[in-house]
A and B are shown apart, each in its own frame.
Chain A
Amino acid sequence: MEDVLLIDAVERFVNGEMTPQEKIYFEDLRKNNPELDQAVVEHLFFLNEMNSYGATKNFKHSLHEVQTKLANEGFVFCAPVVGKTKLVQLWNKYKKTVAVAASIAGVVSLFIASVVSAVAKKDPTNTTLLVNKVDAVAVKNAQIERKLNKLEADANAEAKKPMIQSKFNGTGFLIDVNNNYIITNAHVAMEAKNQLIVENKKGDQFEAHAVYVDQQRDIAILQIKDKSFKKLAPIPFQIRKSSAYLGEHIYMLGFPKKEIVYGEGYVSARNGHNMDTLFCQLSTTANAGSSGSPVIAKNGDLIGILTSKEPNTQGVIYAIKSVNILRAIEDAKKIDANASIKITAAPGLKGLKREDQIEKMENYVFMIKGN
């Protein structure tokens, strides 16, 4: 308790909240009691550290915002031309060495490849994609169940929206509130042969279509065409350019069932299945239908898109690293019709309690379904 009293006195002393009398008394006390003086000096030092910490933290936050703004303008990414001249010099200098090295490497790798392919067993199960395909029997069962429910509920005779006959479901999230662009997995979007529908947490459905599918990165960009879709406030998260930190705590929101489901875990490896650098590995649980879920770090940054899991192993989940979203958007914008894609972010999750972050986030997460 004495500590608390001391801190109170020191803080009031520093902030100039002491009365002149109190101040004289306090300074007298310090002069006559070296132990107290030592404690005051120590606390002053600590307060100073605390203030620097606060200021640096705030500054980093501002810095981050400016970086995002400039990155959105495409500023920071423009690689200078000057950088190439040195490369050319180096190339000229080491051409021969490179040629010799490359031919040796070529021969060796061909040899290794032939050995490996001869020895290795074919492994058809790569990773399991987490899109939920509804099989015919299940559909039938669901239909019967629905009919039963309907009979029961007939008395209330609620007017329901016509539901589409969905053959799969996945998850996606909004990144552009002006033109309503949504990010999901390419393998989710490609399930839709006829109709593609996005559904918000309230169950409202909106027609959408894929404007860009990047199978390499497994990212698809959808756009909501429906006029009835109400414009949302700018997205509250920021898409992180750097990789997630090992051990960083994360959470996800997705639609493995008819309502939104929350899950949490941590980043367990920097790369994905077979050291695939497009992905990172998470330790958490996820089910079919979670494909395309946003993976959010504690500070509110979006760090990835949940995509697949290791078959036969519990809790090993793979997510596409968030930087690939930015790259896919850059590529998508090369097509004239998509030139207007712009990430409209006003990061607002930082510093919020988890429950409050989720409450904000859920409005931007959608179930993706269709047939």
Chain B
Amino acid sequence: MNIIEEEKVLLEGLAKEDKQSIEKIYREHYNMVQSFVTNNNGTSDDAADIFQDLMIVLFEKARSGNLELHCQLKTYIYAVSRRLWLKKLTQAQRFAQSDVEHMEEVASVEEDVETHEKRQNDFTLMETAMSKIGEPCKSLLEAYYVQKKQMQAIAADFGYTNADNAKTQKYKCLVRLKKLFFAQYKNAE
């Protein structure tokens, strides 16, 4: 297997939330990102945060079926971490404008980082909506959509007499969640 194929397999693993793939990427690339961040006004805690964001960018990319990085994984990771870190520095205003120019652009990842920000935003909106909806709706919807449990098992867990009852309850919850979500979504636009 050549490098490109190997990296493709790794990304496919990420899309399936496979822990081994996550671990492999950590082991191979974490130090590079850490050096970069700590050499540019960051602490190792900052580096850990940036790497976590980077992993989510990779995951989102892999999950959307877009496995073409147009460059080696290493280069891609470097470019994305760099973008993420610069964004964070500018936000915290720890950064003099002139320093940005000193770090050369290695791969064009602007678009990916922007998509990531939008998705993060949506994720937060959904999380807020979920936190507002209350129990048992929250657990019920999480059991179905996050933990992917079968309706039968959910009915048993939540003490509904049968799967159909649980399903009706789930639909009612979903309608409420949808209202909460779209109310915020439209506000955010």
A-side residues, CB < 8 A to B, are 3-4, 7-8, 42-43, 46, 49-60, 62-63, 65-67, 69-70, 75-77, 79-80, 82-83, 86, 242, 351, 353
Contact B39 A76 (CB under 8 A): no
Which of B48, B148, B175 sits near A54, CB closer than 8 Å? B148
Question: Does B12 make an interface contact (CB < 8 A)?
Answer: no
Q: Are A58 and B17 in contact (CB under 8 A)?
A: yes
State whether B142 touches A351 (Cβ < 8 A).
Answer: yes
User: Are A49 and B145 closer than 8 Å at their CB atoms?
Assistant: no
Question: Is the Cβ of A70 less than 8 Å from the Cβ of B26?
Answer: yes
Closest A residue by C-beta to B51: A76
Known: A53-B126, A54-B146. A82 touches B39 (CB 8 A): yes
* CB of B149 to closest CB in A, whole Å: 11
Cα distance A249–B78 when bound, in Å? 37
Distance, CA A43 to CA B63, complexed state (A): 21
Please determine whether A52 and B122 come into contact, CB atoms closer than 8 angstroms: yes
B89 interface residue (CB < 8 Å to A) = no
Q: Are B122 and A79 in contact (CB under 8 A)?
A: no
List chain A residues, Cβ under 8 A from B59.
56, 59
User: In the docked arrangement, what's the CA distance between A353 and B138, Å?
Assistant: 11
A66 touches B44 (CB 8 A): no
A-B contact list, 20 entries, CB within 8 Å: A7-B171, A8-B167, A49-B126, A50-B145, A51-B145, A52-B119, A54-B146, A55-B63, A56-B60, A59-B14, A59-B59, A62-B18, A66-B22, A66-B26, A76-B26, A76-B48, A82-B39, A83-B38, A351-B139, A351-B142
Query: Which chain B residue shows the least CB distance to A298?
Result: B131
Cα(A82)–Cα(B37), bound, Å:
11
A76 neighbours in B (Cβ, 8 Å): 26, 30, 48
B175, A53: Cβ atoms under 8 Å? no
Contacts of A353 in B (CB 8 A): 139
CB contacts (< 8 Å) of B35 on chain A: these are: 80, 82-83
Question: Which of B139, B146, B168, B171 is the one whose CB lies under 8 Å from A57?
Answer: B146
CA distance A169 to B39 in the complex (A): 48
Q: With A46-B178, A53-B123, A62-B19 known to touch, is A79 a contact of B146 (CB < 8 Å)?
A: no
Q: Is B52 an interface residue (CB 8 A)?
A: yes
Looking at the assembled complex, report how far the CB atom of B174 sits from the nearest CB atom of chain A, in whole angstroms.
6
Contacting residues, chain B, for A79 (C-beta < 8 A): 34, 38, 44
A75 contacts across to B, CB distance below 8 A: 26-27, 30
The yes or no answer to B68 lying at the interface (CB within 8 A) is no
- Nearest neighbor of B58 in chain A, beta-carbon distance: A59
Contact partners of A46 in chain B: CB under 8 A: 178, 181-182
Known: A49-B122, A53-B127, A66-B23. A58 touches B178 (CB 8 A): no
Q: How far is the CB of A64 from chain B (nearest CB, A)?
A: 9
Chain B nearest CB from A327 CB (Å) reads 13
In the complex, the answer to whether B175 meets A7 with C-beta atoms within 8 Å is yes
Q: Is the CB of A351 within 8 A of B56?
A: no
Q: Are A8 and B146 in contact (CB under 8 A)?
A: no
